Amino acid sequence: MAVGIFDSGLGGLTVWDAVAKRLPEVPFVYYADSAHAPYGVRTVEDIHDLTKAGVNRLWDEGCDLVILACNTASAAALRRMQEAGVPQGKRVLGVFVPMIEALTERHWGDQSPPREVAVKHVALFATPATVSSRAFQRELAFRAIGVDVEAQACGGVVDAIEEGDLILAEALVRSHVDALKRKMPAPQAAVLGCTHYPLMAEVFQDALGPEVKVFSQAEIVAESLADYLSRHPQMLGDAKETRFLTTGNPTKVSTGATRFLRRKIDFVKA
């Protein structure tokens, strides 16, 4: 009855941590493609192929539902995978949808035409690959009109977080916020479009100022998943226990994950 969570590395642990607290009775299988991280600087074709391989492995592990807890994978691979078709009884979902639901205050099942929403000026902080895909803007346009999105590619932040260099990560975040504010001086809301970024949410908030509402994905995705599973309980697969898999060095990844979440996390080789 496990749900799969896929990420290029450790960032998706922010999502796993939130959904595990929200759904303590549900086991999860977490797959970190650490050998190929970060995804944010890879080509679209690379990201698609690596994501597809990871999702297939999670299906093989007994997960009927897989969450792409990676915005870059969601941006570059999800639509193509869904259009190509997934095995019967399987589903793969991304993390953009819950964020846009929260931002626009519309349920994704609402099929009415796009309409004006309260937020008019949105800052998007994401990896270079997510920014270049324009996937967030495309999905937002299905639900809202009149929203100005200014995207800032946050090069280096994921690498610094993965390496545990939070001093460098903070300096990079403040630099990227400054660059964004030169293009959009007064955003009303900011979307942290990478699952690594919740670890730096306080820095983003401080750099942006108290008047900017910061949307961070972990808790939003957790609530959305709880709602989805209440409506689709059959999507719980047949795996029985929480496991952590990595394509990288399990010892190194386990050490990073333990530092990341401040409690012991043990990965095994995928």
**Residue 154 bears catalytic tag:** no
Distance, in Å, from the CA atom of 267 to the CA atom of 70, rounded to the nearest integer, reads 18
- Considering 20, 50, 70, 154, which one is annotated as catalytic? 70
- What string of DSSP letters covers 178-190? HHHHHH-SS-SEE
Cα dihedral 103/105/107/110 (nearest 10): -110
Distance, in Å, from the CA atom of 160 to the CA atom of 260, rounded to the nearest integer, reads 12
Q: Are 220 and 152 in contact (CB under 8 A)?
A: no
Cα separation values, 254 from 20, 243, 246, 247, 248, Å: 18, 12, 9, 12, 10
Tally the residues of the chain. Answer: 270
Q: Is the dihedral of CA 226, 230, 231, 236 positive or negative?
A: positive
**Residue 63 bears catalytic tag:** no
- Considering 194, 203, 220, 245, which one is annotated as catalytic? 194
State the catalytic residues.
70, 194
